[in-house]
């Protein structure tokens, strides 16, 4: 029989077959890695109606970034989503041609011809050389009178 006082402290309670912290870390990593890969894979499957900020250049101002998000929504024909973003932007920036032009397109997608014409007209008053606003004004003038769905 050995004298318990002669054994080094901490050694008596350690089970020689118990996994060490390195083994536990490796096992945990091996189990969590597939879950992490699945999570990252699922992030790429966001519905197209949810544009992500990752596509926006970091040098853009907040206003420019929101205009870019509204443009992405308009490219997906989401007039309601774009309008929800653009109306507060227009309230704070009533003379911004990009906001007004995107408002024109959003109203046009929603079939609100009069509002679309007003937004494009205001945009062209501020910037008479805005080519997109000129083209969009021609487009919305061809829409039926306020044929909102």
Q: What is the pLDDT of residue 144?
A: 85
Annotated domain spans of the chain: 19-48, 55-141
Structure-model confidence comparison of residues 149 and 94, the more confident one:
94
Give one DSSP letter per residue of the chain, joined into a string: ---GGGSPTTTSS--TTSPPHHHHHHHHHHHHHHHHHHHHHHHTT--TTS--GGGS-TTS-HHHHHHHHHHHHHHTT-HHHHHHHHHHHHHH-TT-HHHHHHHHHHHHHTT-HHHHHHHHHHHHHH-TT-HHHHHHHHHHHTSPTT---
Q: How confident is the model at residue 17 (pLDDT cuts 50, 70, 90)?
A: low
CA angle 17, 23, 25 (to 5 degrees): 140
pLDDT tens digits for range 26-57: 666 666 666 666 666 555 555 555 555 545 44
Superfamily of domain 55-141: Tetratricopeptide repeat domain (1.25.40.10)
- Mean pLDDT for the stretch of residues 9-24: 63
pLDDT > 70 in the chain, percent: 58
The pLDDT of residue 75 is above 60: yes
Using CB atoms within 10 A of its CB, is residue 129 exposed (0-12), middle (13-18) or buried (19+)? exposed
Compute the CA torsion angle 49, 54, 58, 62 (nearest 10 deg).
30
Q: What is the pLDDT of residue 63?
A: 87
pLDDT tens digits for range 87-135: 999 999 899 999 999 999 999 999 999 999 999 999 999 999 999 999 9
- Give the separation between CA 149 and CA 143, rounded to whole angstroms: 13
pLDDT tens digits for range 136-145: 999 999 988 7
Q: What is the pLDDT of residue 61?
A: 86
The pLDDT of residue 14 is above 80: no
Q: Are 78 and 90 in contact (CB under 8 A)?
A: no
């Amino acid at each position: 029989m050995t004298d318990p006082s002669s054994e080094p402290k901490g050694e008596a309670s350690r089970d020689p077959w118990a996994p060490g912290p390195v083994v536990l870390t490796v096992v945990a990593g091996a189990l969590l890695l597939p879950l992490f890969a699945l999570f990252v894979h699922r992030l790429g499957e966001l519905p197209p109606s949810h544009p992500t900020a990752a596509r926006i250049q970091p040098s853009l101002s907040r206003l420019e970034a929101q205009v870019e998000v509204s443009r992405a929504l308009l490219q997906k024909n989401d007039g309601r989503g774009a309008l929800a973003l653009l109306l507060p932007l227009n309230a704070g920036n009533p003379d911004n041609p990009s906001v007004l032009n995107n408002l024109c397109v959003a109203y046009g997608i929603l079939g609100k011809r009069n509002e679309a014409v007003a937004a494009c007209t205001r945009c062209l008053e501020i910037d008479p050389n805005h080519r997109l606003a000129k083209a969009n004004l021609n487009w919305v003038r061809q829409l039926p009178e306020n044929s909102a769905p």
